[in-house]
Chains A and B, each alone.
Chain A
Amino acid sequence: MNPFRDYLSAVWNILRKDLQVEWRGRQGVPVMLVFSLLVVFLFNFALQLSPDLQAGLAAGLLWVSLAFASTLGLNRSVSLEQENKAMDGMLMAPVDRSAIYFGKVLSNFSFTFLVGLVLLPVFSLFYQQNMFKPMLVLVMVLGLGAYTSLGTLLAALSIQTRTRDVLLPVLLYPLALPILIAAVESSRSILAGQPIADYQSWMTFLLAGNILFTAAGLMFFETILEE
């Protein structure tokens, strides 16, 4: 057997399992979606945004609501495995543990990306500008990729603590800040219609974040889960 194909099939099986659980239960994505919309409404209300301000802030609001909402999904993806000791079962499987990490990152990414895709038309409607831009979707892929690869690692870490999922935002938000800054800055430039040269360095930065956090996950996921 080809070890690389075995590895990929382990990743794919984890991802497929998570997608299946989500499809049958529909308990993750809808909650994240409603929560992210609530964040948007709360911000509009709390900050008393005037229409001309709103347009400039759309990029920031989009990322803040995505960042908040995705912690729900991240927590759920690991707490789900704590039920019935499913995680122990996965750890006993004769596969490399980083495969579990990759599978989890991919499923978390799919869920948050889906929420992001639904938010785009909603934002276009509320903030009177077309947010369906290919570059913005690309920024979303890169930004959410880096965010969820860090988030999955930290969710696995925080679930080990006594406070469990309460800890995740405290660990994740400050560490993910550079990613959020880069994502907001490039989204803002894209929405303002600036040429790609203006935000290219932020995109490169996001790519670097993806590489860094995935490498961290590869290195430490096993260390975090060992008993």
Chain B
Amino acid sequence: MTKKPKLLSLLDILCLILVPGALVLILFFTPIERVMGPVQKVFYFHVSAAWAGMLSFLIAAVAGGVYLSTRKQKWDWLSLSSIEVGLVFGLIAILSGMIWAQPIWNTWWVWDPRLTTTAIMELIYLAYFILRSSLNTPESRARLGAVYAIVSAATVPLTFFSIRLFRTIHPVVIAAGGSGESAFNMTPRMLLAFFVSLFVFTLLLIDLVWHRSRLARLQAVNRGEGV
């Protein structure tokens, strides 16, 4: 087993400082939204979690592609780890969205296209683990897992394009060709907290995926499969 890289330790410390830091920023620095009230503050972590989830599924597909061309196990570990971490981020996005929806829409869940497709995305990647667990050799797990990760990621834009054709009640953060002077409908302080959250969640994603793929390597070594 290789020693824990210094960069990873640095990333750990950064996340330990920045995640609570972002929370403080959101709770005390941003103004309270005029119409929705304090519950609007869910938004910062909600969008960041959704972003981190999407990014990790993209990473999983790219890592799967690299695995298929190089056949090096470490890329499969990366792909697997990204999907696992992405699933958790996706779940955070859905649950935090529900917390916001309860007072704003007066219901925990609506069958809105945006919500439904996000939930379907979670199901797609849950099936990834069912697929892996029903394969016998690490080689077939990696190979078929990579194919599935790539095909799944290819349908994600399809899914998200399909909801553009629907009318959705979900708020749109970045309006395409908005009539106002800014595409973002936020005050400067909100915008700052928003971008800080996005950045912090991206760091957290890298940190968790890195840890998880080191764990995958340990598991493989333990089973006598890895290098």
- Listed in ascending order, the chain A residues whose CB lies under 8 Å from chain B are 150, 153-154, 157-158, 160-163, 167, 170-171, 174-175, 177-178, 181-182, 185, 201-202, 205, 208-209, 212, 216, 220, 223-224, 226
Contact = CB atoms under 8 A, between A and B. Distances in A.
A182 B162 contact: yes
B179 interface: no
B130 A170 contact: yes
Given A157-B131, A175-B151, A212-B154, 10 more contacts: A161-B134, A163-B134, A170-B127, A170-B130, A178-B155, A178-B158, A205-B158, A216-B154, A220-B150, A223-B143
Contacts, number: 72
Contacts of A216: 150-151, 154
Given A162-B135, A163-B134, A170-B127, A157 B140 contact: no
B115 to A, nearest CB: 13
B123 to A, nearest CB: 5
B120 A174 contact: yes
B130 A157 contact: no
B159 interface: yes
Contact of B144 (A162, A174, A185, A224): A224
Q: DSSP majority for the A interface?
A: helix
B158 A209 contact: yes
A181 B147 contact: no
A160 B127 contact: no
B96 interface: no
Nearest to A166: B134
Contacts of B159: 177-178
A119 to B, nearest CB: 24
Interface of B: 68, 117, 120-121, 123-124, 127, 130-131, 134-136, 140, 143-144, 147-148, 150-152, 154-155, 158-159, 161-162, 165
B127 A223 contact: no
B40 to A, nearest CB: 30
Contacts of A150: 151
Contacts of A157: 131, 144, 147-148
Contacts of A182: 162
Q: Which of B123, B152, B161, B162 has the most CB of A within 10 A?
A: B162
Contact of A174 (B127, B136, B161): B127
A220 B147 contact: yes
B120 A177 contact: yes
A174 B123 contact: yes
In the complex, the 6 A-B pairs of residues with the closest C-beta atoms, listed nearest first? A161-B134, A174-B124, A163-B134, A178-B162, A178-B158, A174-B123
Given A171-B148, A177-B120, A205 B162 contact: yes
A160 B144 contact: yes
A153 B127 contact: no
Nearest to B162: A178
Contact of B152 (A161, A175, A208): A175
13 contacts: A160-B135, A161-B144, A167-B131, A174-B127, A177-B117, A177-B120, A177-B159, A182-B162, A201-B165, A205-B158, A205-B162, A208-B158, A220-B147
A23 to B, nearest CB: 32
Contacts of A175: 124, 151-152, 155
Given A171-B127, A175-B124, A181-B162, A160 B140 contact: yes
A205 B127 CA distance: 25
A83 B162 CA distance: 39
